[in-house]
Amino acid sequence: VRALSRTSGEPVWTLTIKNPLSVLGLSAIDGKLFAGEKENSTGSSNFYCIEAQTGKVLWMVSLLGGAKTNPSADKSIGLLLIGTTTGASLALHYASGEKHWKTELGPLVAETMFFNKKAFILSNRSDLPGKTALRALVTNNSREYWHTFLEGEPMDLIAIDEKTDALLILTMQHRPTEDADPQKAWIQMMIHNGKMRWRAEVPPDTLPSLLYSSREKLVVFTTRSGFMIALNIYDGKELWRAEVGKETRSGPSLFFPLSNPIIAAVSHDGVFSLRRAHDGKEIARSTLEPGATVPPVMSEDSAYVLTPGHLHIFGGLMSLKDKPSPTPTKPISQPAEKK
């Protein structure tokens, strides 16, 4: 894992981890970095808490299986929630990594999340093939508040509103063979005690990349075939659709300037696009080397796009907030650093 200076692109620190990583995320609480390894040949892995400023390992715990979901923290009770490849969900003490509780709710845990004083777990069930289980648990002891089942396999879960416990879930119905494309996909909005407010069928190649814009009240996602699509958060109806490139393998990112939010996406065939969130109109475009597989990172006035050969830094995003720009944003490129 390497950290680069935002202003110069020079390395700040390097941390060597023996096995490849499956999870890498930054905590919104205090800037700690969490890194989870893939499952190794012994069926186990390590999970690390790292000081983001220095790269110092603050604590490390061993897991059965590999890390599967991005960590989610609840500051009020000091817990961190993660899912593993064995189907387990674990609540760890944020300060030490000590296990607080563990539950196993299915052979596959797709997403885990602390939200609104509850732990939400999205998983499948071996006894209910083709179904997704969404469960709400008590954060401090894993007792169940409620559960519901949805059509399709679990793919993605995001939270959008604390007043109504509103969640958005992406599920997919797959063909009989594992390597075949999914037949159908849905995004559904759940509120309160697992009640469905609406369900919208979306393209079957939708990526697990749901992004919510609270200001514009819409959810945006990308498809493998290169499109970015926005749905109305109140009824799930499509608001706009735009082609980013020929193929996309990562989700969109959101940038909040002083006025209208901007959505960024990068295609696998080398197109970086910035669009207005409310109508999808493109305001800047740049051509990069192909191969991008991770979303752009938006920070302050810049966007960071990683391709196999370079880290591309696009500046001046604030100047694009009011009107479309006919010229591409000029990138500053740095050699890519491998994680």
pLDDT, tens digit, 9 for 90 and up, residues 142-160: 999 999 999 999 999 999 9
Mean pLDDT of 59-73: 94
Read off the pLDDT of residues 277-333 as tens digits, 9 standing for 90 and up.
999 999 999 999 999 999 999 887 889 999 998 999 998 888 775 554 444 444 444
What percent of the chain has a predicted confidence (pLDDT) above 90?
Answer: 69
Least Cα distance to 170 among 184, 239, 43, 179 occurs for: 184
pLDDT at position 337: 46
In sequence order, what DSSP letters do the residues of 69-136 get, joined into one string? S--EEETTTTEEEEEBTTSEEEEEETTT--EEEEEE--S-EEEEEEETTEEEEEEEETTEEEEEEEEE
260 or 282, which is more confident: 282
DSSP state of 182: P
Query: Residue range 255-259: average pLDDT?
Result: 70
Neighbours of 105 (CB within 10 A): 22
Q: In the chain, count of helices (H) and strands (E)?
A: 0, 30
Pseudo-torsion of CA 220, 223, 229, 234, nearest 10°? -50
pLDDT of 178: 61
Question: What's the mean pLDDT in 43-70?
Answer: 94
Average pLDDT, integer, range 61-75: 92
- What's residue 258's pLDDT? 56
Residue ranges of alpha helices (H) inside the chain are none
* Euclidean distance between CA atoms 220 and 212, whole angstroms: 6
pLDDT number for residue 325: 42
- 234's tokens: 């109140």
Higher-confidence position of 164 and 48: 48
User: What number of other Cβ atoms are within 10 A of residue 278's Cβ?
Assistant: 17
Mean pLDDT check: name the lowest of 103-107, 108-112, 273-277: 103-107
The candidate with the shortest Cα–Cα distance to 296, out of 280, 313, 319, is 313
End-to-end CA distance of the chain: 4
Greater confidence, 325 or 191? Answer: 191
Mean pLDDT score across all residues of the chain: 89
Tell me how far apart the alpha carbons of residues 187 and 176 are, in angstroms, rounded to a whole number: 21
**Of 64, 260, 32, 69, residue with least CA distance to 158:** 69
What pLDDT does residue 329 have? 44
User: Between β-strands 32-37 and 109-115, what pairing exists: parallel, antiparallel or unpaired?
Assistant: unpaired
Residues 22, 119, 28, 316, CA torsion sign: positive
Query: Which amino acid does the sequence have at 117?
Result: K
Which pTM was predicted? 0.88
CA distance 244 to 232: 20
Q: Are 83 and 68 in contact (CB under 8 A)?
A: yes
pLDDT at site 119: 96
User: Which segments of 11-66 does DSSP mark as H helices, in order?
Assistant: none
Whole-number pLDDT of residue 8: 81
Is 228's pLDDT higher than 50? Answer: yes
Most confident listed range (163-167, 221-225, 334-338): 221-225
- Residue 198's CB is within 10 A of a number of other CB atoms, namely 16
Burial 234-261 (b: 16+ CB within 10 A, else e): eebeebbebebbebbbbbbbbbeeeebb
Task: Count CB neighbours of 316 within 10 A.
Answer: 13
What is residue 180's predicted lDDT score, i.e. its pLDDT?
Answer: 64
Count of all residues that appear for the chain in the document: 339
Output phi, psi for 319, to 5 deg.
Answer: -75, -10
pLDDT at 141 over 60: yes
Give exposure, 321-330, as e/b (b: 16+ Cβ within 10 Å): beeeeeeebe
What is the Rg, in whole angstroms, of the alpha carbon atoms belonging to the chain?
20
Tens of pLDDT, residues 6-55: 878 789 999 999 899 999 888 877 889 999 999 999 999 999 999 999 99
pLDDT for 250 beyond 80 = yes
Higher pLDDT, residue 230 or 183: 230
